[in-house]
Amino acid sequence: MIISFQIGKRRLEADLDKPLDISIPLHAGPNNVNAWYVGPPQIEPHREGDFTGSVQMGASTNFNDITFNPHAHGTHTECLGHITPEMESVNQTLKRFFFHALLITLTPERVGEDAVVSGDLLQKALGRYRPEALVVRTLPNTRAKLSRQYSHSNPPYFSEEAMTFLVARGVEHLLVDLPSVDREKDGGKLLAHRAFWGMDGRRRTGATITEFIFAGNDIEDGEYLLELQFAPFENDASPSRPVLYKIH
């Protein structure tokens, strides 16, 4: 199905029959992508008395309990409530779910022992674009990202000035293929999160950060229509399934 929509003075089209899913599926076991020093997610039949919720084990239905952490175990979208003492729910953050998006690919800069996405890198990659949503794919980009164990690995992260640049460009929704936009061990400073959500000024209550995406190498850089959907948890973050549609 072809839909048309307006971005500024441009009339564009996207084919909803050709979705490009950039989420990482969640499954039980140690091969699930993981971060933040927690164990793997668990999906197992519910047990109560003589009942075990598995058809293979004699039940009429499969009835599984699922234990996971949205920040640690896969693609998730988080809101301002991730870093505020007040309860802010990602489920109350978005009023619409389709956005003009730009996908860019870049190699983080080496800064000592770190790999950093800087403001200069983003400025060069964005050029003249001012997208509502920015999807950042980092290099190297292999399918190992689907099962990588990130704890104690010091993954790449965004600098504070990189986030300041994105805010100035009007980016409301940032999607990254990293476990966090901040340094793994930063003493709780969370400079990138705080800059993106305007914690030292006017808070950006409608802005979101989506982490742990995976954009395969067959998906080209460029403009897309982004559909950003997530499970309706009343929580600071929820597992999500961002989908791109190529813009014509």
- Which segments in the chain show pLDDT lower than 50? none
**Domain containing 210: what range?**
2-27+70-246
Tell me if 198 is assigned to some domain: yes
Tell me if 113 is assigned to some domain: yes
- pLDDT, tens digit (0-9, with 9 covering 90-100), for 117-171: 999 999 999 999 999 999 999 999 999 999 999 999 999 999 999 999 999 999 9
- pLDDT, tens digit (0-9, with 9 covering 90-100), for 215-226: 999 999 999 999
Q: Name the residue type at position 83.
A: I
Total domains in the fold of the chain? 1
- Position 114 scores a pLDDT of 98
- From start to end of the chain, where are the E strands? 2-7, 10-15, 20-21, 42-45, 47-48, 51-52, 64-67, 76-78, 98-106, 109-111, 114-117, 133-138, 157-158, 173-176, 208-211, 222-230, 237-246
Check which CATH number belongs to the domain holding 238 and give it.
Answer: 3.50.30.50
- Position 10 scores a pLDDT of 84
Distance CA 224, CA 135 (A): 10
Tell me if 60 is assigned to some domain: no
Tell me if 231 is assigned to some domain: yes
Phi and psi torsions of 132, nearest 5°:
-70, -35
Q: Name the residue type at position 65.
A: D
Tell me if 40 is assigned to some domain: no
- Position 2 scores a pLDDT of 87
Tell me if 18 is assigned to some domain: yes
Tell me if 32 is assigned to some domain: no
Tell me if 179 is assigned to some domain: yes
Q: Contact at 8 Å (CB) between 236 and 88?
A: yes
- Position 85 scores a pLDDT of 94
Phi and psi torsions of 105, nearest 5°:
-120, 135
Structure tokens at 91: 């489920």
- Position 36 scores a pLDDT of 98
